[in-house]
Chain A
Amino acid sequence: MGLLSDIYNTVAKFFRPQEEQGDASKSVATNRLKLVLMQDRTNLTPKILEQMRGELIDLLSRYVELDKELLELNFEQEGNQVALMLSIPVIRAKDEEEIEAALKAEAEKLEQKAENMEEALPEGENSDICEEDSSDEQDMVCESSGSDNTAMSTPEGMTSNNNQEESQKEIQFEEQGS
């Protein structure tokens, strides 16, 4: 019995060489497809992604000094979930004083904006709260891209803050659902 099933197994393996290694092709296709359809279906046009990128830069800049040129925002598949990957080369973290100053400036800006809004919208409608239908919950993962980005050679004569140690700090925040 042992011998026969050994023979069987050897022969069977010969006839299905793909089965062991083949999982990749299909699941790669499924994952890539899910991603691209998500982009196709949502209104996340390149323009809106660009706007999102800009706002994220504004937000994060209150706390850290970023290399805005090298910042990347992409969709990626993480297991079963689609994640929005923001890769930001961090130049340095800001100190408390700087952060406070930045937050204060931001608060003032908001106040100003609110005043302007009130003038423009006497009924005081909350028109810019938009509800995402979030049937799938999505992560937002945000991390610095590490040394390979910031270690890129910069043209001579340019002052650059590229310091390996500093650039490897990571910011990571995760947000589940809403």
Chain B
Amino acid sequence: MAGRVIVITSGKGGVGKTTTSANIGTALAKAGYKVVLIDTDLGLRNLDLLLGLENRIVYTIVDVIEERCKLRQALVKDKKNPNLSLLAAAQTRDKSAVNAEQLKEICDTLKEENDFVLIDCPAGIEQGFQNAVAGATEAIVVTTPEMSAIRDADRIIGLLEAKEEIKSYKLLLNRVRPSLIKSNDMMSVDDVVEILSCPLIGIIPEDTGIITSTNKGEPIVNDEDALAGKAYRNVAQRILGEEVPFLDLDEPKGFMAKIKNAFAKLKAKV
């Protein structure tokens, strides 16, 4: 078997790469696929925290590369889902500890025994990015509807285009706030897609549940009720080739919207 190797990247930091990696990985594993997540953010490892696996890390990717352990030994299985495992980043080593060839080799080995290898990429367009992309054939570019994030995403898309091995790349728009879009203070999904001219694979709303889920070390896809969880489950389905309509984030919620809505109904009746 040769699984798919997908890099999750963005250019700008803090836009949701790690959150996206954890959630898509979990969703695919729950759907019955064998998934390995690789954290390539050396020195800034986080994926273990989001999955609640931080206490189980014994070996890291640097230990594998420097042959202090076997690749198999460094893979940490998820608590709930044996289909999901994590290859953690080293927290202490400097970034030059890993090169692109070594990462590609690891991906090539892992894809033999897994359906998906998902790579959580560090921010930036330098060596860390080059390493993370080396073994991948697909990419998900994460951005938020903010100028600086979109500009960096455009840079990344340019770099991905130039890479022969990357056969497809898709856009994931994170932290979308319908209320801001409505008041014309945030670029809409259409605006961003038009500007970047890149096919869309998901729209994730801003959701405070993501913070609490991080606190608990449990990806929000496990929460059946959360909107962001649903949005990530939809992304996983799209990765699997299903056609899932994008969520309508426009439903009025919250106190103000309810009052406005009530008035609108009243007006309609009168």
A residues in contact (CB < 8 Å) with B = 1, 4-5, 8, 11-12, 15-16, 18-19, 22-27, 29-30, 32-34, 36-37, 40-41
- Is the pair A11, B184 in contact by a Cβ cutoff of 8 Å? no
Q: How many residues of B contact A (CB 8 A)?
A: 24
- Is the pair B184, A23 in contact by a Cβ cutoff of 8 Å? yes
Considering only residues 152-167 of chain B, those with a C-beta below 8 Å from chain A are 154-155, 158
B154 CB contact (under 8 Å) in A8, A16, A26, A37: A37
In the complex the two chains form, what is the Cα distance from A34 to B158 in whole Å?
A: 15
Considering only residues 139-156 of chain B, those with a C-beta below 8 Å from chain A are 147, 150-151, 154-155
B240 at the interface (CB under 8 A from A): no
Summarize B's interface: helix, strand, loop or mixed: helix
Mark each residue of chain B from 58 to 102: 1 if its CB lies under 8 Å from any CB of chain A, else 0: 000000000000000000000000000000000000000000000
B237 CB to closest chain A CB (Å) equals 30
Residues of chain B within 8 A (CB-CB) of A8 are 263-264, 266-267
In the complex the two chains form, what is the Cα distance from A170 to B158 in whole Å?
A: 40
B260 at the interface (CB under 8 A from A): yes
Considering only residues 164-205 of chain B, those with a C-beta below 8 Å from chain A are 181-188, 191, 195
In the complex the two chains form, what is the Cα distance from A16 to B259 in whole Å?
A: 12
Decide yes or no: A11 and B187 within 8 Å by CB, A33-B151, A34-B195, A37-B154 being known contacts: no
- Is the pair A27, B184 in contact by a Cβ cutoff of 8 Å? yes
Q: How many A-B residue pairs have CB under 8 A?
A: 62
In the complex, what residue of chain B is closest to A18 when comparing beta carbons? B183
- Is the pair B183, A33 in contact by a Cβ cutoff of 8 Å? no
A41 CB contact (under 8 Å) in B158, B260, B267: B158
Residues of chain A within 8 A (CB-CB) of B1 are none
Question: Can you report 21 A-B residue pairs in the complex whose CB atoms are below 8 A from each other?
Answer: A5-B270, A8-B263, A8-B264, A11-B259, A11-B263, A12-B263, A18-B183, A19-B182, A19-B183, A22-B183, A23-B184, A26-B185, A26-B188, A29-B187, A32-B147, A33-B151, A33-B187, A33-B195, A34-B195, A40-B158, A41-B158
In the complex, what residue of chain B is closest to A1 when comparing beta carbons? B270
In the complex, what residue of chain A is closest to B188 when comparing beta carbons? A26
- Is the pair B186, A26 in contact by a Cβ cutoff of 8 Å? yes
Residues of chain A within 8 A (CB-CB) of B150 are 33
A29 CB to closest chain B CB (Å) equals 5
- Is the pair B185, A25 in contact by a Cβ cutoff of 8 Å? yes
Mark each residue of chain B from 253 to 264: 1 if its CB lies under 8 Å from any CB of chain A, else 0: 000100110011
Interface centre among A11, A19, A25, A33 (most CB of B within 10 A): A33
A157 CB to closest chain B CB (Å) equals 47
In the complex the two chains form, what is the Cα distance from A140 to B270 in whole Å?
A: 55
- Is the pair B184, A22 in contact by a Cβ cutoff of 8 Å? yes
In the complex the two chains form, what is the Cα distance from A148 to B67 in whole Å?
A: 69
In the complex the two chains form, what is the Cα distance from A18 to B187 in whole Å?
A: 15
- Is the pair B187, A30 in contact by a Cβ cutoff of 8 Å? yes
Considering only residues 117-151 of chain B, those with a C-beta below 8 Å from chain A are 147, 150-151
A142 CB to closest chain B CB (Å) equals 27
In the complex, what residue of chain A is closest to B158 when comparing beta carbons? A41
Interface centre among A1, A8, A19 (most CB of B within 10 A): A8
- Is the pair A4, B266 in contact by a Cβ cutoff of 8 Å? yes
In the complex the two chains form, what is the Cα distance from A29 to B187 in whole Å?
A: 8
